[in-house]
A and B are shown apart, each in its own frame.
Chain A
Amino acid sequence: MTGARYKQRGGQPGHGGFRIVIAGTGGQGVLTAARLLCEYFAARGHQVVSGQLHGMAQRGGSVQSTVMIDAGISPVIPRGRADVVVGFEPVETVRALPLMSLETVVLMNTSPVVPYVIAQAAVRGNGEVEYPAVEGLVECVRGVTERVFAFDGTGIAQECGSGRTLNVIMLGCLLGSGLLPCAADDFWRTATRGMPKHLLETNARAFTSGVESGRRFAFGPAG
């Protein structure tokens, strides 16, 4: 559903809001991306609730954040009730599969972050543990919803000057897609308030690239 449909549903608490999942691994900037969304929508008077699970993320673990805009008070999303999944990493995107439904929009980066257990499995001879083929992972998501936009976000981030801007690329893609009821440039102005100058240039380039990617992503009109 798009921003237009969001407005059409009236932004009511309960079913009427918007539920976003951001999935990735430690160090990819998942929590920062979620925080920027929360702050932006909270400042505009929306009811915002967010949850995060990052037990030992700094040591290589999975990270999943949820952002609920005008969608009740629970910080955790029930099965099949995510409106958008923003996947920073292919395996982590598929891990969020139970939260998706036919209507879920999935924006996913196709560059893997390979967990160290794969190398361990390789040398210990139990090689059946392999990083799954990315095409297969994308297909897996397409098996649930056709509304999938898979692209090499990490590649774009590197072109923009730093792989660390992946979260900005993904945010740009989400904002550029028009799914949320806000303008990308307004969001970026708010998000970069107080950002040190030396970071601003690379990040701005990344955000613009992300927005362009999101605009290319054609789901057709609302609902």
Chain B
Amino acid sequence: MIKVENLKKRFGKLQVLHGVSFDTEDGKCTAIMGPNASGKTTTIKSILGLVVPDEGTITVNGMDIRKGFQYRNLIGYMPQIPTFPENITPRELINLTIKLRTYEKNYSQELIELFEIEEHLDKPFSALSGGTRQKVNAVLAFMFDVPILILDEPTVGLDPVSSRKLKNLIKERKQKGVDVIITSHIVSEIEQLADDMVFLLEGQVIFEGPVKEAIEQTQGEDLEDAIAKLIQRQQAA
């Protein structure tokens, strides 16, 4: 479970987050949504400790993230566009990640078979397509039995078959009680996967709650319509 309270962040003159607060629950998938430059990536990076907030607190399974780095052992992270060093191979990267974690067991072999990337494991990243890199990215995020998954645009660059496999994987983990946080611009994907939604606009949360409630509250036809109405309502206010 992640609890974000009154998160504020400024980059130079630009105030990116204006007191963002929300909670996520175990066994549920929470979508962090919002237009470009609404603060989604800064929020995710703050949870991961990559961005240092100016104000506010973040707790991950009850641990204040400012008190150490060990909490990151609980998180599997899939960055949006992975930029792995060109001269190293997926196998080396998988092995490095295993060494940096403290899990007894990892599911890398099962995931390598699932995404059919065995033949690419010893090629340097420079020789791999965007889709294959994204599959390696998925293996790195899902290969441990972590209680929290943070997935930033996870299906970008994947073919429909692999995208479906990844979505099934997300659903499986959710059923096992994993707290999944996802960002995506593909509304249909969010409708399929997410239970809850946190909608950010210009660094502020303008909606937090179940996806169904967003549709009901705005009397939208579907999630896409609900999002459009949420933005209009905020701009009118």
The reply to whether chain A is a binding partner of chain B is no
Binding site for A on B (CB under 8 A): none
Binding site for B on A (CB under 8 A): none
